[in-house]
Amino acid sequence: MPEKHLKKLSTSVSLRIALPALLTIFLFIVAIFFILLPELEQSFMSRKQETIKELTETVWSLLESYHEREVLGELSREEAQKRAILRIRTLRYGVEKKDYFWINDMHPNLIMHPYRTDLVGTDVSGFRDPNGKYLFKEFVEVVKQQGAGYVDYMWQWKDNPVKIAPKTSYIKGFPAWGWIIGTGIYINDVYAEIAAIRNKLTAISTFILFIVSLLALYSIRQSMLADRERMTIFREREGLMTSLAQSNERFRNLLETTSDWIWETDMGGRYTYSSPRLRNLLGYTPEEVLGKTMMDLASPRTRETLKNEFEALLAAEKPYSGFECTCLGKSGQVVVLENNAVPIFNGTERLLGYRGIARDITERKIAMEALKKSRDELHSSLEETVASLASTAEKRDPYTAGHQQRVDRLACAIAKELGLSEERIEGLHIAALLHDIGKITLPSEYLTKPTLLTREERAIIKCHPAVGYEILKTIHFPWPVADIVHQHHEHLDGSGYPLGLTETDILLEAKILAVADVVEAMSSHRPYRPALGVERAIEEIQEGRESRYHAPSVDACLRLIAEKKIEFVSEDWCPVFQ
């Protein structure tokens, strides 16, 4: 911008700031004193009139209640009217509690007036106010024509007979008795309140005018100070524009040489910009994909699978990351792209589209698939090894064949019911299949003895958890299988074996296995006794709940049995591993 034109522009800035401020002040004063105040006065007077109307209606309802009592025979008309007059004579309202109600009839005779007792009981048809208005006659005419209405006249100031002031009253006829009930407001009172409001608005307006004037002066001064800096700013502008052009060039070079594909789309996911890296990834030129979506580049199977998910990501109008899409290149090559994007909004928070990057992760996906296959093969090998070890233990104790598998199914079902993760349930599965592995070192005659064991024989049998621990502790499992096997006969109160552990020292998996083991053992046949039955097993774990056995595991087991989700004599599913 030429420096001469800049100086001319700076000279007019002060006027541009001052004139709107002065115009605003003028419009503010006009709005307050010529529009707002007249409307406020009219509204205020209307509200006052509505108030006396509501008060008159309320007292009229009081007359109605006494009339009903007359109709019902509770009171004579004379007694009802007398009570009504006594009640209404004492009614007061207003700030000074001096505003009142009066009653006259249709003659008119004044029946009740708290401040003009000299007129009570007299014919007031000839009574005139200082302006000559026959106000009581007008009351009667209004009631005859309308039933109720407003009347303006002059009357004494409340209880002061010397002071006369303009007044507006609302009167309403009570046909049952031929009465007219009324009350009113003094116009001077209303004008006094309006004057108070006007004075307050004047003070506020003056203050606002003063503040606005100060702000206008401050703005003009700041503008003049800013003018001194504008010259420097415009002199530096050329240098800044040059720097910006250089930065844009560096950004463009970076954009075109990065290994990731950078793109922009509209709100429907159609590409509106593509970096040249696309040619290296899929073989397309940037122009070839404009107007297409990611789904247009996807393989047919991927398009069918990801279409709904892709549309949901666009509709969410939120950043997304890690969205993988298997695409087909121009030559038919398969490329897996990982997409990360952020939404683009305009100034009104309306979605314009998305800006993101796509990264080739094909080699990573191939490596992950190979790793998964290797892991699955290792897991299958582990399962086979564990099954072989479990089978070895059962060959030493043919009477309990299948015991470890049934305990495994029940323990895994309990763990599933308790909400354990699949990883922990898998560790429990392995430990359950191997929990009696220590029995391979016990004399077979102990395991198959048809009579009760002696104390010494039972002591030897109780060594099998420790033996199992010694066998398994050197095997590297990703779970504490050896410890679970070691603890599966421990009780919460320390009465178990072989270590006499208490609740806080026992693994959760061992607590679950203990419940499953005792239920299955009591439900199955043994050489020295027939099966005790599921009912007896249930009684055992219920009696030992919280003392010997883990309460949540007991409750889960009972739910499984009650809902028939587990059968001990059938080939049940394992919640995780079948």
CATH 3.30.450.20 fits 13-192, yes or no: yes
pLDDT of residue 577: 32
If 0-12 CB within 10 Å is exposed, 13-18 middle and 19+ buried, where does residue 222 land? exposed
| pLDDT beyond 60 at 568 | no
The DSSP annotation for 505-543 comes to GS-HHHHHHHHHHHHHHHHS-BTTB----HHHHHHHHHH
Domain 13-192 matches domain 390-562 at the CATH topology level: no
Residue, of 176 and 199, whose pLDDT is higher:
176
How would residue 149 be classed by pLDDT, with cut points 50, 70 and 90? very high
CA distance 233 to 10: 13
Residue 535: CB partners within 8 Å, gap ≥ 6?
none
Nearest C-alpha neighbor of 408 from the set 533, 524, 516, 514: 516
Phi, psi of 10 (to 5 degrees): -65, -35
Q: Average pLDDT in the 181-202 region? A: 85
**Using one digit for the tens of pLDDT, what is the confidence trace for 56-115?**
999 999 999 999 999 999 999 999 999 999 999 999 988 888 899 999 999 999 999 999
| pLDDT beyond 80 at 520 | yes
**Using one digit for the tens of pLDDT, what is the confidence trace for 281-307?**
888 988 888 999 988 888 888 888 888
Q: In the beta sheet, which residues pair with residue 351?
A: 345
CA distance 491 to 188: 94
Phi, psi of 355 (to 5 degrees): -125, 130
- Classify 390-562 by CATH class: mainly alpha
Nearest C-alpha neighbor of 513 from the set 487, 537, 538, 492: 487
Three-class DSSP category at 161:
strand
Q: Average pLDDT in the 263-290 region? A: 88
Residue 59: CB partners within 8 Å, gap ≥ 6?
88, 91, 101, 181, 183
Share of the chain above pLDDT 90, in %: 36
How would residue 569 be classed by pLDDT, with cut points 50, 70 and 90? very low
**Using one digit for the tens of pLDDT, what is the confidence trace for 21-50?**
667 777 777 777 777 777 777 888 889 899
How would residue 439 be classed by pLDDT, with cut points 50, 70 and 90? confident
Alpha carbon separation from 360 to 81, 325, 334, 338 (Å, rounded) = 100, 10, 11, 7
| pLDDT beyond 50 at 552 | yes
Residue, of 534 and 226, whose pLDDT is higher:
534
Are 380 and 352 spatial neighbours (Cβ–Cβ below 8 Å)? Answer: no
CA atoms within 13 A on the CB side of 254: 6
How would residue 262 be classed by pLDDT, with cut points 50, 70 and 90? confident
pLDDT of residue 9: 57
**Using one digit for the tens of pLDDT, what is the confidence trace for 363-379?**
888 888 777 776 666 66
Are 341 and 355 spatial neighbours (Cβ–Cβ below 8 Å)? Answer: yes
Residue, of 15 and 314, whose pLDDT is higher:
314
Residue, of 526 and 342, whose pLDDT is higher:
342
pLDDT of residue 570: 38
pLDDT of residue 531: 59
CA distance 102 to 125: 15
Three-class DSSP category at 262:
strand
| pLDDT beyond 80 at 13 | no
pLDDT of residue 576: 34
CA distance 569 to 578: 17
Least confidently predicted of 60-64, 226-230, 363-367, 444-448: 444-448
Share of the chain above pLDDT 70, in %: 82
**Using one digit for the tens of pLDDT, what is the confidence trace for 375-409?**
666 666 666 666 666 666 665 565 555 788 888 89
H-type helices in 419-463, by residue range? 422-433, 444-447, 455-461
Domain boundaries, the chain: 13-192, 261-360, 390-562
Q: Which CATH architecture has domain 261-360?
A: 2-Layer Sandwich (3.30)
Are 503 and 487 spatial neighbours (Cβ–Cβ below 8 Å)? Answer: no
Q: What is the pTM of this model?
A: 0.41
H or E element that contains 165:
strand 160-174
pLDDT of residue 271: 92
| pLDDT beyond 90 at 232 | no
Nearest C-alpha neighbor of 53 from the set 151, 133, 176: 151
pLDDT of residue 444: 63
| pLDDT beyond 50 at 140 | yes
| pLDDT beyond 70 at 253 | no
How would residue 555 be classed by pLDDT, with cut points 50, 70 and 90? very high
